Amino acid sequence: MSTKVEMKDIVNLSQARWFVYPGSEIYGWLANSWDYGPYGSLLKENIKNLWIQAFVQKRTDMMLLDSSILLNPKVWVASWHVGWFSDPLIDDKNTKERFRADKLLEDLIEKLADKAWGLQAKYGVSNLIPESWSLEKQTEVMRWEKVKNPNTWEVWDWTDAKKFNLMFRTSQWVTEDSSSTIYLRPETAQGIFVDFPNVLRTSRRKIPFGVAQVWKAFRNEITPGNFIFRTREFEQMEIEYFCEPGKDLEVHAQWKNDCKNFLISTLWIKEENIRMRDHDQDELSHYSNATTDIEYKFPFGWWELWGIADRTDFDLKAHMSESKQDMSYFDPINNRKFVPYVIEPSVWLNRLFLTVLADAYTTDGEGENTRIYLKLDPKVAPIKVWVLPVVKKIGEDAKKVFTQLSEDFMCEYDEVGTIGKRYARFDEIWTPFCVTIDSDNFAKNKVTVRFRDSMEQEIVDLNELNEFLRKKMK
């Protein structure tokens, strides 16, 4: 059994087995846009629902919110997104191509390996995290280290690195002027923050408590790539957990454990493919008291999957100042008023989807006997039960079984091809159970259940089939 996987393997499987398609493909594709196919949509919904179940349904201190994508532009002024939410970009003067300077420098550092530490003394930088370097320093290193254009592999004359705002602008009303400018939200967090007074008033919750949200966000990324890892349109699963100042680091530590446990215990992600990385002091965002990234070993290297940030009281105080509305909390036990600190665990659903595919991708055998499949937990698998008549002529009987099972499970029906080839297709997307119908057993009110993992089979009475599978799912 082999679990080594390259990105091309995941992309090929995704497109061949209805997981992810290129967006607008009949028109030549819109770069970096992806559509989730029938199985991809189900897999994504399963991951999302398991996240909601773990962090909202099973907790007494959590609530769910669905805020608007379009918010008053003043929201983004208060949160520093207008003017500050940007990437460092640098242009190749010869090809006119634009790149993220910090990402090209990260690639340089990775290639230099142990020799990269020499950059600190040579350029007077305190770390090897280019994102935290000044624009002037990024430009200097790009030029003097003769960093190559990743598309042409030539060294050209780089422009000065400049900031590029990532928010998508649009207009409301009929006219297009500065007064009508609004933005597609670049994150879901601010919708939670501006609704904090409403949630506090209507829920009557006592701190600590959290608000979760799952929905779309948009960033005009200049260098998206690696399939669905970094896209301009994505889904975030975010939590803003409000707590008492002074207790924030303790709460932050707990959320780090909770998020890691979700990956391992709920999604079956292999622990050896996960690592926790605490941000250095000079790497922290302006609002952060502490930040930890859960990184995953993707086929293209270790990259951030889940960020857990201690945002202090920055956001609530910023909105309090801009809106002139009270964003504080009154503690009835200690008879005092304060602005809560906030812990934010944030993960892109798209990246979690890619993580599940990469971690589950498995091959058995060699050459023509190679078996490719996704070793998914039954909870995550897009299709739980596949219903198969042995021959097409008993399809009507098999469809009755499908109707019975679909009351409780997401099922698929297939009567095309040999039974062996159909089993292979269903194994590839890792369907936990196949229910096979043949005339002799059906006459006795029985069917055959095939188990994906062991490939063993068991004859089960139709009246007991749903409950039998329900128990096996656990």
| CATH number, residue 142 | 3.30.40.230
pLDDT at 31 over 80: yes
Ramachandran quadrant class, 157 (left: phi over 0; alpha: psi -120 to 50; beta: rest): beta
Do residues 331 and 450 both lie within one domain?
no
* In a domain? residue 171: no
* In a domain? residue 22: yes
Do residues 399 and 350 both lie within one domain?
no
Do residues 199 and 244 both lie within one domain?
yes
**Each residue's pLDDT tens digit, 393-443:** 999 999 999 999 999 999 999 999 888 888 888 887 889 999 999 999 999
How many C-beta neighbours within 10 Å does residue 45 have?
A: 14
> Strands 62-64 and 209-218: what pairing?
parallel
Of 466, 473, 467, residue with least CA distance to 451: 473
Question: In which band, very low, low, confident or very high, does the pLDDT at 248 lie, cut at 50, 70 and 90?
Answer: very high
* In a domain? residue 462: yes
Which 3-state string (H, E, C) describes 112-166?
HHHHHHHHHHHHCCCCCCHHHCCHHHHHHHHHHCCCCCCCCCCCCCECCCEEEEC
| Range in 79-83, 359-363, 443-447 with the lowest mean pLDDT | 79-83
Do residues 151 and 248 both lie within one domain?
no
Question: In which band, very low, low, confident or very high, does the pLDDT at 180 lie, cut at 50, 70 and 90?
Answer: confident
The last residue of one of the domains, among 293, 326, 359, is 359
pLDDT at 1 over 60: no
* In a domain? residue 229: yes
The last residue of one of the domains, among 344, 359, 374, is 359
pTM: 0.87
pLDDT at 94 over 70: yes
pLDDT at 157 over 90: no
Do residues 68 and 94 both lie within one domain?
no
Question: In which band, very low, low, confident or very high, does the pLDDT at 174 lie, cut at 50, 70 and 90?
Answer: low
Do residues 62 and 99 both lie within one domain?
no
Query: What is the domain extent for residue 249?
Result: 7-72+186-359
Do residues 323 and 220 both lie within one domain?
yes
Question: In which band, very low, low, confident or very high, does the pLDDT at 373 lie, cut at 50, 70 and 90?
Answer: confident
Question: In which band, very low, low, confident or very high, does the pLDDT at 458 lie, cut at 50, 70 and 90?
Answer: very high
Q: How many domains does the chain have?
A: 3
Question: In which band, very low, low, confident or very high, does the pLDDT at 223 lie, cut at 50, 70 and 90?
Answer: low
Do residues 98 and 53 both lie within one domain?
no
Do residues 228 and 308 both lie within one domain?
yes
* In a domain? residue 177: no
pLDDT at 263 over 90: yes
